[in-house]
Structure 1
């Protein structure tokens, strides 16, 4: 049987207030004391309650909805995923509603609550890092869920993507087989991007298996960017100038590293090899095409929609769809 969604009455009973008070808190209308508001919002989070805004509105007007939550639209990785989603939806009567979380689970929680209020047919999310309140809401509502980009944890419903730990491990094995021994690592904020940390762990596992370890490493406290990659590699090489190869958390960071090498007169590959992750087109347009791992981002988005709108699957039959990856030899490592 599908889960029974909590009602406004359930929230009122738990918070010890009237249904009208709960309604005012939800709609942010009328004078409400801070203590009452806190009790009501705590009950909402505990029960996983979301208001129904669909009645007589968009969702009942012949436009079935798919909610899509992406961490960023400035990172080209996620617009490519969105293109795959839109391509799969093009032949259906479904429309997407897109929210951007900026890698913040609390922001994701608020967007999930807003999207569930429209009674979507499914939600497409990124990764497995959700707040307890988000998981409670999803558990209480009969909605299909696809978690994208990662398959290294247990999905709520279906997961579509790749194993980042295995991608990191295979990157390490590839570089070891090419003769590199003095490894450096340049990364970005792991709190915002847990998948980068899984790749790092996989890389370290491959090195340890070969009796090696990272000679030097440095992480920018900021989000991934070419500037962060350039500045972080510069700082790393001041401390460890004799590295053979530097593995970057992604292509944005690696492209910044390439720019630093150009500026510093370092011959890429001959003096210092560079290796990225994602397989961005811009990395392949560098004077020396970037050595990297290409993820199948368009396929991830397209496959998620096809599986969500295909045969019914429930949380009792969790599915993991591995879209794989490809090591791109390039010319920088």
Structure 2
């Protein structure tokens, strides 16, 4: 018997070259200049010729070189969207709002993720600005000095999103997280809760969670109430962390009558653990989170929360970019837009309402 061995074979293929205007020109029988006019939507071209060119380009699979085509203007039809996370369900909803606003326009969002690391944000911003985008949408108001300088000197519309507690480089769209924290504290105290614990992410890098916490403690302090217990986490499954932290906190501080979570996901974990223990929610202990995540609507009880206006923020930011990117470069610089949206509290089933148990 002759042993056989497998051999890896490869078939060489001729290297493919990128399609050019000439290929489209030859396919539809018009000049390269006419093809260029049609694909850039410039100049006076008859409807029949335009249809022929577009059909030829589509059948060939031709994609215009926007970088080369934008050398004169030094801009491409891309908008840099820089966010800290894709695993946090807040930001996909923001991206949905941005994408819907750009849907029938030449602009396309390109996403960069920073993982809440300031130095990574700086690197992502540097790389994305090197492509000369038509605008920047970036989460948060806190940046390194170098990142802030790049944003200031980019010469394009910049919209900082999610937060309005600070000084923007240009335009900003978001909510006041300090006010959101104060409003939640006010609602909790109004329902008679006084022994309060707080659980949230580690906050040196999550500035918006930090500001909500500051606003929350400020709202309690005004009424002579202090947080009795607190715990912070980083990384891992938020649901599992919520369960773990809730159990640990109530073992330490069994007399707490309210738990405020920095986000809905850990709040949902806490709610599930409490219900498993047979604890009366919201009678014995009330709960609230933040973000208004629709994914959690299937829980046995609807978690009290506050909507962060995510899709609206994305839409408004994109509309600012659209409005500003269409202005002539040598025209007057328009005033920045500062838009503060007002989130509302959803009492759900875990925060008593006045007159209800």
TM-score of the superposed pair, with normalisation by structure 1: 0.79
Distance (Å, rounded) in 1 between the aligned partners of 2:129 and 2:160? 16
The equivalent of 1:188 in structure 2 is 201
The equivalent of 1:155 in structure 2 is 168
Gapped runs of 5+ residues in structure 2?
Answer: 1-65, 352-357
How many residues align? The count is: 281
Distance (Å, rounded) in 2 between the aligned partners of 1:151 and 1:295? 12
Give 1:56 deviation, angstroms: 2.2
Distance (Å, rounded) in 1 between the aligned partners of 2:332 and 2:288? 39
Distance (Å, rounded) in 1 between the aligned partners of 2:333 and 2:258? 43
Q: Does the alignment pair 1:219 with 2:232?
A: yes
The CA deviation string for residues 152-179 of structure 1, in whole angstroms up to 9 with x for no partner, is 0011011101000000000000111111
Q: Determine which of 284, 300, 313 is the counterpart of 2:313.
A: 300
CA contact (8 A) 2:76 2:134 kept: no
Distance (Å, rounded) in 1 between the aligned partners of 2:344 and 2:78? 33
Distance (Å, rounded) in 2 between the aligned partners of 1:221 and 1:96? 29
The equivalent of 1:37 in structure 2 is none
Q: Determine which of 102, 105, 121 is the counterpart of 2:115.
A: 102
Q: Does the alignment pair 1:56 with 2:68?
A: yes
Distance (Å, rounded) in 2 between the aligned partners of 1:280 and 1:221? 20
Superposition pairs of residues 265-304 of structure 1, within 5 angstroms: 265-304=278-317
The CA deviation string for residues 248-284 of structure 1, in whole angstroms up to 9 with x for no partner, is 0010110111122133332221221110100111333
Change (3 A) 1:59 1:88: farther
Q: Does the alignment pair 1:319 with 2:337?
A: yes
**Farther-moved stretch of structure 1 (258-267 vs 292-301):** 258-267
Q: Does the alignment pair 1:261 with 2:279?
A: no
Change (3 A) 1:270 1:60: farther
Q: Does the alignment pair 1:70 with 2:88?
A: no
Q: Secondary structure at the match of 1:325?
A: coil
CA contact (8 A) 1:246 1:273 kept: yes
Give 1:136 deviation, angstroms: 1.8
Q: Secondary structure at the match of 2:97?
A: helix
TM-score of the superposed pair, with normalisation by structure 2: 0.74
Give 1:314 deviation, angstroms: 8.9
CA contact (8 A) 2:76 2:133 kept: no
Please identify the structure whose Cα radius of gyration is greater: 2
Gapped runs of 5+ residues in structure 1?
Answer: 1-53
Give 1:139 deviation, angstroms: 2.4
Change (3 A) 1:315 1:216: farther
Change (3 A) 1:132 1:318: same
Distance (Å, rounded) in 2 between the aligned partners of 1:223 and 1:77? 17
Superposition pairs of residues 118-137 of structure 1, within 5 angstroms: 118-137=131-150
Q: Does the alignment pair 1:331 with 2:317?
A: no
CA contact (8 A) 1:166 1:202 kept: yes
Give 1:60 deviation, angstroms: 7.6
